[in-house]
Chain A
């Protein structure tokens, strides 16, 4: 992984937390508020003005709602620009075609393969090109297997 400047913030945050947890609290004897939250103290000593179950239920509802809001904000498909169209670009960037996506048409419909195309690995012009099943690129006879061209594969 290449080092980028925007990663610095995350590393600084984690470093500061490590310093706080492993040096400041044990060595300099900071108040135990960091170690024991007020909620856990209430649970330990068994004294609370309100029933602790109700408090926990309320906190749980709020956190699950926060998670659902995260999900709604990130995954509502209208927020991704350009996702509803499919693009085809040749490797020398001379031809650019956008195919609009619509829900009414059947999703079984496959892409047209043109009679002539440029191989997306070597760039040579080929008659009747192949199309890779996994990455949908147009390829020549030498590079149509997934090991021979740069087949886009990710893990998450």
Chain B
């Protein structure tokens, strides 16, 4: 071991410079609070969209225990956080600095979406900078990470739905809650992933296509296959254009 390294170890193990739990994952309280504010803004925007389009709020589920809206908020938080944090962690893996920020341009898109009535769930973006941004391959990989996380979440929530169906006979309430969570999460993640993969402008799909069309076609194909044969893609399209059906 070099003497320089020993000095560094002494500094790192010092009480005052000891690393936090958040610092281990390259997170800060400021960034987490920004993510939470983004979540709240998304929920408010969706409520406003539904009010302007005349869709009734607060309808109880069959179980009578939970409101569908709270399940939707819970699921939206999970899928949005994983989508953004996967971008961040892959960028950090390639030696870049990355941070989630609420950007005014994205908020402008959200305002346009409220006027149109079509939900564009954009509040901010993960900004990342460093040497690795100059490589097309790494840029494509970092932007492909979000939709891939959505794909994994779709798989997890289909299993949740299946477990709910298995519980239906003995534990009816728990089974119904699991089924509702699974259904909303599956179609929300399919919508998030498929919308982000559109090859337009600042969306993730443009960068993935610029890197390699093969990966883009594979991702879009997997999303469309899941949508057509498992999730009823047309049903979701009707839901999104005709208002969210979770209310």
Knowing A37-B228, A56-B165, say if A153 contacts B133 (CB, 8 Å): yes
- CB of A155 closer than 8 Å to a CB of B: yes
In the complex, chain B residues whose CB is within 8 Å of the CB of A13: 220
Q: Which of B141, B158, B198, B218 contacts A63 (CB 8 A)?
A: B158
Q: Quick one: CB contact mask for B163-207 with A, threshold 8 Å, 1 for yes? A: 111111000000000000010000000000000001111101111
A66 lies within 8 A of B222 (CB): yes
Q: How far is the CA of A136 from the CA of B125 in the complex (A)?
A: 23
- CB of A134 closer than 8 Å to a CB of B: yes
Q: How far is the CA of A155 from the CA of B196 in the complex (A)?
A: 14
B127 lies within 8 A of A75 (CB): no
Task: How many A-B residue pairs have C-beta atoms within 8 angstroms? Tell me.
Answer: 169
A154 lies within 8 A of B129 (CB): yes
Q: Which of B141, B204, B213 contacts A74 (CB 8 A)?
A: B141
- CB of A52 closer than 8 Å to a CB of B: yes
Chain B: CB-nearest residue to A6: B213
A154 lies within 8 A of B199 (CB): no
Q: Which of B152, B163, B198, B217 contacts A53 (CB 8 A)?
A: B163
Q: Which of B91, B137, B146, B234 contacts A21 (CB 8 A)?
A: B234
A11 lies within 8 A of B156 (CB): no
A54 to chain B, nearest CB (A): 7
B132 to chain A, nearest CB (A): 8
Q: Quick one: CB contact mask for A50-74 with B, threshold 8 Å, 1 for yes? A: 0111111111111111111011001
- CB of B148 closer than 8 Å to a CB of A: yes
List residues 32-52 of chain A with CB under 8 A from any CB of chain B: 34-40, 51-52
Chain B: CB-nearest residue to A62: B155
Q: How far is the CA of A93 from the CA of B73 in the complex (A)?
A: 53
A67 to chain B, nearest CB (A): 4
Q: Which of B207, B215, B232 contacts A156 (CB 8 A)?
A: B207
Q: Which residues of B contact A (CB under 8 A)?
A: 4-5, 8, 87, 90-91, 93-94, 97, 103, 125-135, 137-139, 141-146, 148-149, 151-152, 154-168, 182, 198-202, 204-207, 209, 213, 215-220, 222, 224, 226, 228-232, 234-235, 237
A-B contact pairs, 24 of them (CB 8 A): A11-B199, A13-B220, A21-B234, A34-B234, A37-B228, A39-B229, A51-B166, A52-B162, A53-B165, A54-B166, A55-B162, A56-B158, A58-B162, A60-B160, A66-B222, A70-B151, A70-B218, A75-B141, A106-B4, A106-B5, A152-B130, A154-B139, A155-B128, A156-B142
